[in-house]
Each structure stands twice: as structure tokens, then as C-alpha cells.
């Protein structure tokens, strides 16, 4: 074989010997699921926000040196309550401190320099719902930070016919409906943990 025919073979051998070096110089980009897990962990450790009054809650309103105005009143389904002298007041969505400020402003015209306090004595509005193909559908009490995974467990878990990666959570917020995916099968395997969100008052989990 002459030099003319050997030249292509020499080039091929050079390229083949160089390929591993190129691969070593340019390693593949690492794949990691840590950011997703970190998001879930951070979400669970947020500082608990102040409690906001909701429909069905019972408030104790005490006015110093005025027994007639010291009462326990339920918050109506529209978030309002009726207080003597001042009438209808919006309590839903406010903290006890915010509602106290509102009441003090309104009652001043009838009671000079009022000294009053507002506290929530019964919490009846902290609930969420799990419906569909679960073993114990219905209303659940939200008395602590509850993740979507814990919420599903409280409802007895999905039944054998559930589409476990098609679960959704519906949330009413500021006159709009937000929809969150909850891929249970993936989360149970340790993937897509950022979807394991905290449940909020009024949330509805639908298990198809």
C-alpha cells in the first residue's frame, strides 16, 4: 500500500485517538433535582403568617366598662358581623388587630375614648376539601401547616382507581381560581417535590 492510500487511514486514527480527550475536556452538564427539593423545603419553613378571620369564626369583643357592648359574635358567610351601635362591619380577611382598629374608629362617635379588645375564640373556617377517588372524601380541618401530601393522607389516600399523577388543587384567591398540579406518583418517588405545596383555607383537592 503506497503513501497515498495510507493518508486517509492515518487521519482516521488521529481523530479516533483525539475523541476521548475531547470528551474529557468537555464533561456533560450534571443533572440535579436538588433545586426542586430545596423549593419544597423552603416552602415548609416559611414563617407562619398572622391568622385572618374567616366565615364561621366566633369573635369575642370586649369594651372596657361597658358590659352591654361586650359580646361574642359569629362571622357571617359573607365575612361580616353586626355590632351594636355601629351596625355591619367587615371582619373576614382581617387579623384580630386590624378588625379591632376598624371597630375603634367606628365606635368612637358613640363611645368616647373606647378601650376594647378583639380575640378569636372559635376557629371554624380553617378547612379544606378532598374529593374524588380517595378512601375518605370530604372536609378536613386545617389546624396546622398541612402539605398536599399530608392532606391526601388525611383523606385516606387515593383508591386503586385514582389517576395519581392527575390530581389538582383548586384555590380561590383575589377573585380568581388558581389551579395547582399535584403529581402524587412522582412525589411519592421523591421527584417534583416543589408541587407538594402547603394547603390553605378553602382549598379543594380533586383526585380523578
**Going by C-beta distance under 8 Å and a sequence separation of 6 or more, which residues neighbour residue 192?**
36, 183, 186
Find how far residue 28's CA is from the centre of its chain.
36
Tell me which CATH code domain 125-207 carries: 3.10.560.10
**Can you tell me the distance from the alpha carbon of 152 to that of 131, in angstroms, rounded to the nearest whole number?**
10
Compute mean pLDDT per 10 residues along the chain, 208 residues long, and list them: 52 50 44 40 58 95 91 95 94 96 93 92 95 97 93 97 97 92 96 96 97
pLDDT of residue 65: 86
As a residue count, the chain comes to 208
Residues of the chain with CATH 3.30.1950.10: 58-122
> What was the pLDDT predicted at 143?
84
Residues of the chain with CATH 3.10.560.10: 125-207
What is the Cβ-side half-sphere exposure of residue 167, based on CA atoms within 13 angstroms? 29
Assess contact for 118 and 100: CB atoms under 8 A.
yes
pLDDT of residue 49: 78
| Among candidate residues 58, 57, 118, 61, the one with its CA nearest the CA of residue 84 | 61
**Tens digit of pLDDT for each residue in 53-77?**
999 999 999 999 888 899 999 999 9
This prediction's pTM: 0.68
| Per-residue pLDDT, 9 | 52
pLDDT of the residue at 19: 46
User: Do strands 58-63 and 116-122 pair parallel, antiparallel, or not at all (unpaired)?
Assistant: antiparallel
Say if residues 161 and 207 touch (Cβ distance below 8 Å).
no
Pick the CATH number of 58-122 from 3.30.1950.10, 3.40.5.10, 3.10.580.10, 3.30.110.30: 3.30.1950.10
3-state helix, strand, coil in the chain (%, to 5): 30, 25, 40
Q: Where do we find the cell 384567591?
A: 173
Half-sphere exposure of 49 (CA within 13 A, CB side): 9
Q: How far apart are CA 74 and CA 202, in angstroms?
A: 18
Q: Is the CA virtual torsion 63, 68, 69, 72 positive or negative?
A: positive
Identify the pLDDT of residue 21: 43
Question: Which residues are within 8 A (CB) of 19 and not within 5 positions of it... i.e. 6 or more apart?
Answer: none
C-beta neighbour count of 83 within 10 angstroms: 19
Amino acid at each position: 500500500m503506497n503513501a497515498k492510500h495510507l493518508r486517509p487511514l492515518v487521519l482516521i486514527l488521529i481523530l479516533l485517538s483525539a475523541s476521548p480527550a475531547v470528551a474529557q475536556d468537555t464533561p456533560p452538564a450534571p443533572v440535579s433535582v436538588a433545586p426542586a427539593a430545596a423549593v419544597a423545603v423552603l416552602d415548609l419553613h416559611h414563617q407562619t403568617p398572622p391568622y385572618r378571620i374567616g366565615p364561621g369564626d366566633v369573635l369575642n369583643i370586649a369594651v372596657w366598662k361597658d358590659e352591654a357592648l361586650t359580646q361574642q359574635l359569629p362571622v357571617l358567610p359573607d365575612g361580616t358581623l353586626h355590632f351594636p351601635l355601629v351596625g355591619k362591619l367587615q371582619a373576614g380577611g382581617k387579623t384580630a388587630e386590624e378588625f379591632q382598629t376598624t371597630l375603634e374608629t367606628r365606635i368612637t362617635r358613640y363611645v368616647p375614648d373606647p378601650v376594647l379588645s378583639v380575640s378569636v375564640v372559635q376557629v371554624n373556617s380553617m378547612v379544606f376539601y378532598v374529593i374524588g377517588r380517595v378512601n375518605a372524601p370530604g372536609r378536613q380541618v386545617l389546624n396546622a401547616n398541612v402539605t398536599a401530601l399530608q392532606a391526601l393522607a388525611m383523606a385516606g389516600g387515593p383508591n386503586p382507581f385514582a389517576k395519581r399523577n392527575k390530581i389538582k388543587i383548586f384555590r380561590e384567591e383575589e377573585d380568581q381560581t388558581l389551579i395547582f398540579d399535584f403529581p402524587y406518583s412522582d412525589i411519592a418517588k421523591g421527584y417534583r417535590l416543589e408541587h407538594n405545596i402547603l394547603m390553605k383555607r378553602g382549598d379543594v383537592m380533586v383526585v380523578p
